[in-house]
Chains A and B, each alone.
Chain A
Amino acid sequence: MIETDILIIGAGPCGLFTVFEAGLVQLRCHLIDTLPQPGGQLTEIYPKKPIYDIPGLPDILAGDLVKNLLEQAAPFKPGFTLGERTETIEKLEDGRFKVTTNLGTEHIAPVIAIAGGLGCFEPRKPPIVNIADFERKGVEYIIKDPEFYRDKKVVIAGGGDSALDWTIFLEEIAEEVMLVHRRKQFRGAPDSVEKVMQLAEAKKITLITEAQVVGLGGNGKLENVVIKTKTEGEKTQKTDHFVPLFGLSPKLGPIAEWGLNIDKNAIEVDTFDYRTNIPGIFAIGDINTYPGKLKLILCGFHEATLMVQSAWKQLNPDKKLTLKYTTVQGVTGFES
């Protein structure tokens, strides 16, 4: 059981900066994110892209901005629950919220800040009509334990690093590995591309390019896939597993069911302090919407700062908060 003052859902730039602002008024934070590392889309999608509109930083790589935000937040000792998806929320008798993840980790806090950006990143699922019928019955979007594929026939689809890396890795474990990709070129690391080409030439794997998996068949569990190639049309391939690796795409996810007012995949807030329609739950950054909303990191920082002031007032109803400049006081972190 994790207890904190502000539970932040989403460890992107906005969530990380909230830790700093909360720390300045002596509030502690804990962050939950579905991704295994902090930084949100900055680390997951574009770590090497420069950002030019962070005030005072003429240009900074997205990955470096995250590194800096982590350093800035570090004195305030944030806690992290990473690689877990926020599932349910429950109001406790003492007025606090209990938030539970898909793995059952429980968090209790009086204030919730949803800084979920575009939502939680989930594997992109190929639009094959009956794919849902075979999930966990031969279709896996993520490889958790390679041993699961020992002496099995596996068809992998995709052209990025994960498709290449798993093809190479599973070649030694699985009975047969087939890689299906829509074009002849691969965008993965050159070493991996070369290795896959070598394995294909040595007939240790089967490489099918300019092709897509378009159908799945089987009785109760996956037995075959239909592969459509540019030149030869459709053919059926026997397999035990189909692993489509097409990257991640964001979905609002279980938060959509929390009773918050939602407009086009974004949470409606009051711009006074970015409160939602549920008292004690705020939404900041790309996940919220209000008249004039701009999805910019710098706007998210502002939203986080104002939100924290209201969180403090909620937790200290009888006290008055006075703004203290960091230039006067410096930054004093938490001891532990």
Chain B
Amino acid sequence: MIKITVIDRENNPHEIEAPTDMSLNLMEICKASELPVQGTCGGMALCSTCHCYIQSKHELPEANDAEEDMLDQAFFVEDNSRLGCQIKLSDDLDGLVVKLAPE
């Protein structure tokens, strides 16, 4: 179990306890926690509704081509932009802070 913080679009932080043994990704845990993340494509990196900004200093695996391609269709993309569905929750991500990108 790890603790992550998701800051919603109104700037309210939500502390979430997330299991790391269920191969969940960030988009899925946000949806399960009833945060306003659509995850339209179901996690195939084929939409950009789980676009978020990584605000903590965690080292994440680099975005692959599919994720970069999809970020091309997102708006307000910054250097710390990622798709939540491509971030697998693991023990190294304890304390992760992310902010949901504007819709």
- Asked whether any CB of chain B lies closer than 8 Å to the CB of A192, the reply is no
Are B68 and A185 within 8 A (Cβ)? yes
**Chain B residues with Cβ under 8 A from A181's Cβ?**
72
Are A118 and B40 within 8 A (Cβ)? yes
Kindly report which residue of chain A lies nearest to residue B49, judged by CB atoms. Answer: A249
Are B69 and A187 within 8 A (Cβ)? yes
Chain B contact residues: over half helix, strand or loop, or mixed?
A: loop
- Asked whether any CB of chain A lies closer than 8 Å to the CB of B41, the reply is yes
**Chain B residues with Cβ under 8 A from A212's Cβ?**
75, 77
Are B40 and A249 within 8 A (Cβ)? yes
Are A249 and B72 within 8 A (Cβ)? no
Give residues of chain A (166-210) contacting chain B, Cβ–Cβ below 8 Å. Answer: 181-183, 185, 187
Are B68 and A246 within 8 A (Cβ)? no
Q: How far is the CB of B68 from chain A (nearest CB, A)?
A: 7
The residue from A46, A126, A183, A246 contacting B41, defined by CB atoms under 8 A apart: A46
Are B65 and A187 within 8 A (Cβ)? yes
The 10 closest A-B pairs by CB, nearest first: A187-B69, A159-B72, A247-B73, A246-B73, A45-B46, A127-B75, A182-B77, A126-B75, A46-B46, A118-B40
- Asked whether any CB of chain A lies closer than 8 Å to the CB of B60, the reply is no
Are B47 and A182 within 8 A (Cβ)? no
Give CA–CA (A247, B73) in the complex, Å.
7
Are B68 and A183 within 8 A (Cβ)? yes
Interface string of B61-103 (1 = CB under 8 A from A): 0000100110111011100000000000000000000000011
Interface string of B25-69 (1 = CB under 8 A from A): 000000000000000111010110100000000000000010011
Give residues of chain A (28-75) contacting chain B, Cβ–Cβ below 8 Å. Answer: 41, 45-46, 49
Give CA–CA (A124, B74) in the complex, Å.
9
Q: How far is the CB of B102 from chain A (nearest CB, A)?
A: 6
Taking beta carbons and an 8 Å cutoff, which residues of B are in contact with A? Answer: 40-42, 44, 46-47, 49, 65, 68-69, 71-73, 75-77, 102-103
Are B73 and A124 within 8 A (Cβ)? yes
**Chain B residues with Cβ under 8 A from A249's Cβ?**
40, 47, 49
A-B contact pairs, 14 of them (CB 8 A): A41-B41, A45-B41, A45-B47, A46-B44, A118-B40, A127-B103, A158-B72, A158-B73, A182-B72, A183-B68, A187-B72, A212-B75, A249-B40, A295-B42
**Chain A residues with Cβ under 8 A from B75's Cβ?**
126-127, 212, 246
Give CA–CA (A185, B72) in the complex, Å.
10
- Asked whether any CB of chain B lies closer than 8 Å to the CB of A160, the reply is yes
**Chain A residues with Cβ under 8 A from B76's Cβ?**
127
Q: How far is the CB of A319 from chain B (nearest CB, A)?
A: 41
Give CA–CA (A41, B65) in the complex, Å.
21
- Asked whether any CB of chain B lies closer than 8 Å to the CB of A95, the reply is no
Are B40 and A183 within 8 A (Cβ)? no
Give CA–CA (A187, B64) in the complex, Å.
12
Instruction: Given A183-B68, A185-B68, A187-B65, verify A160-B41 contact (CB < 8 Å).
Output: no
Instruction: Given A159-B72, A183-B72, A187-B69, verify A250-B102 contact (CB < 8 Å).
Output: no
Q: How far is the CB of A26 from chain B (nearest CB, A)?
A: 36
Give residues of chain A (107-138) contacting chain B, Cβ–Cβ below 8 Å. Answer: 118, 124, 126-127
